[in-house]
Structure 1
Amino acid sequence: MESNSLPTEVILTHPRQTIGNIKLDWTPQPGNYLDIEGKTYAILERRHQYQLRSGRYQLQKIALYVQSAPRPTEQSLVNGHWVLGDANCRFNAHSELLRCAVNPQGPCDRCRFYEHL
């Protein structure tokens, strides 16, 4: 294994199938997006797989559970984290995965429920 790369299995959640095995030089988090072979996927879950070597557990690979999704066009930076939609709206979920409860698909600028904080 290269020093700065993580062996990663990318698994589509529905239908459940492995999309591929790749090496990443960054640590993916749920809510991040990943491009593979011209398609964009939202990362839903990350699982670590360890192996016992010389009496110590070492990270062997990670598994990413993803779903096909377009990259969001609306994002806001809140406390160093990117969230979907306009974080100044009262109904914004402040989440990387969900925009809000009243208009989860967006966009925020045309939402009739938009209320500025």
Structure 2
Amino acid sequence: MEQESLPTEVILSHPRQTIGSLKLDWNPQPGTYLDVEGETYAVLERHHCYQYKRGKYRLHKIALYVQAAPRPEERSWFQGRWVLGNANCAYSAHSELVRCAVNPDGPCQGCRFFEPTAQ
């Protein structure tokens, strides 16, 4: 069964403005990246907008709140999802949005704060 393409409004978080409206055949989660009109954005929040029709609520559209961001080059697979940076470092935030507390801008390669996690 094919997923229906839903109207998706892409909204820049700061300054708050609509970047555009698209029809997507996938559901971007916070932490994923989206290309719109040649620019790359990180998805920060996803809101669902429902419509009541014929006695039922149905998903009408999705609003994505984004910020401009380059696609990260350093990612690690951690507990079933991609996270920024090296997930084997003790300082890793294990997040799709933040690399770590001591070196948030990276890179992890050659970082003087790198400390392997105890296993």
| Shorter-chain TM band | over 0.9
Deviations 1:96-116 (A, max 9, x none): 001001111100112111001
Q: Counterpart of 2:53? A: 53
User: In angstroms, what is the RMSD of aligned CA positions?
Assistant: 1.2
Counterpart check, 1:111 vs 2:111:
yes
Q: Is the 8 A contact 2:32 2:42 kept in 1?
A: yes
Partner Cα separation in structure 1 for residue 6 and residue 80 of structure 2? 24
Q: Counterpart of 1:44? A: 44
- In structure 1, give the amino acid aligned to 2:57: Y
Q: Counterpart of 2:67? A: 67
Partner Cα separation in structure 1 for residue 110 and residue 19 of structure 2? 35
Deviations 1:50-106 (A, max 9, x none): 000011100000000000000000000012100000001000010000100111110
Partner Cα separation in structure 1 for residue 3 and residue 77 of structure 2? 31
- In structure 1, give the amino acid aligned to 2:106: G
4+ residue runs over 2 A deviation? none
Counterpart check, 1:21 vs 2:21:
yes
Report the alpha carbon displacement of residue 3 of structure 1 after superposing the two structures with TM: 5.4
TM-score (norm: length of structure 1): 0.96
- In structure 1, give the amino acid aligned to 2:108: C
Q: Secondary structure at the match of 1:110?
A: coil
Gaps of 5+ in 2: none
TM-score (norm: length of structure 2): 0.94
| Residue-pair matches, total | 116
Gaps of 5+ in 1: none
Q: Is the 8 A contact 2:76 2:87 kept in 1?
A: yes
Q: Counterpart of 2:81? A: 81
Deviations 1:15-62 (A, max 9, x none): 110000001010110000000111000000000000000111000000
Q: Is the 8 A contact 2:3 2:25 kept in 1?
A: no
